[in-house]
């Protein structure tokens, strides 16, 4: 989760910097450009968070997957065993 914390902290710093810049905007065009920049940063932060969440979720899903039943104890056919030499 360290990567996620880094992404969130970076996003927060960018948002604070953009807010400081917004206070200095004099024209509507400047405010629009700033809003577009903020929107792009927000999308990138959200994408990074979603990617991090997916990376965290994948190992959890794999460990929750049903295990193979090599001896057929569950009532199904036993898995094929390799030939003994």
Say if 29 falls within a structural domain: yes
Say if 83 falls within a structural domain: no
pTM for this prediction: 0.49
Say if 73 falls within a structural domain: no
The DSSP annotation for 6-64 comes to HHHHHHHHHHHHHHHHHHH--SHHHHHHHHHHHHHHHHHHHHHHHHHHHHHHHHHHHHH
Say if 84 falls within a structural domain: no
What is the residue range of 14's domain?
Answer: 2-60
Say if 51 falls within a structural domain: yes
Residue 45: its pLDDT value, please?
Answer: 81
Digit-by-digit pLDDT tens for the chain (85 residues) are: 677 788 778 878 888 888 888 888 889 999 899 889 888 888 888 888 888 888 888 876 667 666 555 555 555 555 555 566 5
């Amino acid at each position: 989760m360290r990567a996620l914390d880094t992404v969130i902290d970076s996003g927060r710093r960018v948002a604070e910097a953009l807010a400081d810049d917004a206070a200095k905007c004099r024209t509507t065009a400047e405010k629009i450009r700033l809003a577009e920049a903020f929107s792009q940063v927000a999308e990138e932060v959200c994408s990074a968070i979603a990617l991090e969440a997916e990376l965290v979720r994948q190992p959890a899903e794999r460990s929750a997957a049903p295990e193979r039943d090599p001896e057929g104890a569950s009532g199904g056919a036993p898995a094929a065993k390799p030939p003994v030499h």
